[in-house]
Amino acid sequence: MGTGKLALAALAAAGAIGAVVLPASAAASVDELQKRLEAEARAGSAGFSGFSAQRGERFFKSAHGGDWSCATCHTENPVAPGKHAKTGKTIAPLAPGANPQRFTVAATVDKWFRRNCNDVLGRACTAQEKGDVLQYLASLR
Partner 1 sequence: MKNTTTKRWMLDMAAWTLGVLAGIVLVTHEAAAGGKLSAPADDRWKAECGSCHLAYPPQLLPAQAWRRMMSQLDRHFGADASLDAADRAHIAAYLERNSASGRRVRASPESLRITEGAWFLHEHDEVAPATWKHPAVKSAANCAACHTRAEEGDFGERNIRIPR
Contacts to partner 1 by CB under 8 A: 84, 86-89, 107, 111, 114-116, 118-119
* Nearer CB in complex with partner 1: 50/122: 122
**Cβ-based nearer residue to partner 1, 4 or 88:** 88
- Find out whether 83 and 89 touch, Cβ atoms under 8 Å: yes
Least distance in angstroms from the C-beta of 88 to partner 1: 5
Q: Residue 42 CB, nearest distance to partner 1 (Å)?
A: 26
* Distance of closest approach, residue 26 Cβ to partner 1, in angstroms: 14
Nearer to partner 1, 6 or 27 (CB): 27
Whichever of 25 and 139 has its CB closer to partner 1, that residue is 25
